[in-house]
Amino acid sequence: MYSSSHYYLFHFCLLFVTCLAQTNFHPKTLFLAVKQDPSTLQYITQIQQRTPLVPVKLAVHIGSENLWVDCETGFKSSTYKPARCDSRQCVLARSIACGNCNTENITRPACNDPCYNIVSNPAMNTFYSGGEIAEDVLTVQSINHSTPGPDSRGPVVTVPKFIFSCSPSLYTQKLGKDVKGMIGFGQQSPVSFVTQLASVFKFSRQFAICLSASPQENGIIFIGHRPYIFALGFDASRDLIYTPIITHPNFFLINRGSPEYYIQVTSITINEKPLVFNKTLLSLDENEENGTKLSTAVPYTVLERSIYDVVSKAFISEMPKEVKTVPAVQPFKTCFDSTYVGMSRLGYNAPRINLVLHKPNVRWTITGANSLVKVSDRVVCLAFVERNQTFGQAIVIGGFQMHDNLVEFDLARRRIGFSNSLYFRQTMCSNQFYTM
């Protein structure tokens, strides 16, 4: 549940940020193209920011609070404006401190009594508490729902004063080539990408992500209202089944909800056979440990060690007898000779994995396209990895398991909808007109 402070911040955000978009056009849906970087396996999008406008590549992190960029290297903008301590921007961005400028860049206006918030880079496994809060111009492409098909792109819309955070160049380490920061879609954050755009353009706080399995083709992030139209006019929103978002206080930041997306997995089946393991691991505790979350910051689903062992053994036993295991290929532990692994329209012929959610009939179904990954001409591996830490979530659903699935994050209704594989509908995430 939101506290009174969360209620105040979101309504303050709505009143303040709405006045910032100087445009007569109010789109119902915006979109971003998203593509996986083959070297880092991060999911990368691009925005246009600053004056004059500059394309900025950003890694997508659905569980992060804000948008942050490297302001130390090559940042130049005539409309950049740093936030002053205790200003409205600082309050909205949930500033944790004020002080001196942390990023040196003579092309930016001089900082004077700035405020800071936290920026995170999961690739470095680090948080930085000195993100300088600022605002600048940002543009996004809209969708014209009245002209479905190749002409469905709407006009580019502008937010003159989008709130973001500046980081030193140091914190872009381990990001993809030319990637200058991260774009956050975290829940319970007044300055997440989706919350600011929803406030500006007066649409519902929701977004849907559809990641392409091909590094050569774009997937898409829809921001705002449905429909989610794919080839032949198929609307993926009609197939969505829903499970609640579990809201949780952030253990480290008092009175601030966690930006991560947690759901309730109650059991796991393989070929409809329930797996036996310690089910208490599936419950999120007061320290934000165990339970299940969704993350674009990890390329493959991560399982707690004992759960991984049970899943791996059951998966092997359900594979056809002629399919033999082969030595592990890092980061995977369970691999197979692919010679006798057949193919179908749902990917590799593999045991069907079901994550059973808050109700027995609500299931995230993982077919061969999302359970086996090709690592060489003759080897495929179970696309799950074992958690290498003693703490953290029991299950982190990663990007590979979301490939060619549409996943909707409905923040207003506090629920997540998922389509299961679009291959069931003979389409895929790249098979839409917007990002071609």
Residue 394: closest CA among 298, 313, 251, 278: 278
Question: 278-306 burial, b for 16+ CB within 10 Å, e for fewer?
Answer: eeebbebeeebebbbbbbbbbbbbbbbee
Strand partners, 246: 262
- Pairwise pLDDT comparison (259 vs 1), residue with the higher score: 259
* Claim to verify: residue 324 and residue 178 sit in the same structural domain: no
pLDDT tens for each residue of 66-80: 999 999 998 999 999
Question: 47-71 burial, b for 16+ CB within 10 Å, e for fewer?
Answer: bbbbeeeeebbbbbbbbbbbbbbbb
How many domains is the chain built from?
2
**Domain ends where: 203, 223, 256?**
203
* Claim to verify: residue 164 and residue 20 sit in the same structural domain: yes
CATH number for 194: 2.40.70.10
Q: Residue 328: give the domain boundaries.
A: 237-425
Low-confidence winner among 3-7, 66-70, 223-227, 299-303 (lowest mean pLDDT)? 3-7
Calculate what percentage of the chain has a pLDDT beyond 70: 90
Within-domain flag for 433: no
pLDDT tens for each residue of 134-150: 999 999 999 998 887 77
Within-domain flag for 101: yes
Query: pLDDT band at residue 10, thresholds of 50, 70 and 90?
Result: very low
* Claim to verify: residue 52 and residue 131 sit in the same structural domain: yes
Query: pLDDT band at residue 397, thresholds of 50, 70 and 90?
Result: very high
* Claim to verify: residue 159 and residue 74 sit in the same structural domain: yes
* Claim to verify: residue 181 and residue 279 sit in the same structural domain: no
Decide if 160 contacts 137 (C-beta within 8 A): yes
pLDDT tens for each residue of 236-266: 999 999 999 998 765 445 456 789 999 999 9
* Claim to verify: residue 199 and residue 119 sit in the same structural domain: yes
The CA-based diameter of the chain, rounded to the nearest angstrom, is 69
How crowded is the C-beta side of 10, counted as CA atoms within 13 Å? 19
Tokens linked to 44: 């990368």
Name the pTM for this structure.
0.91
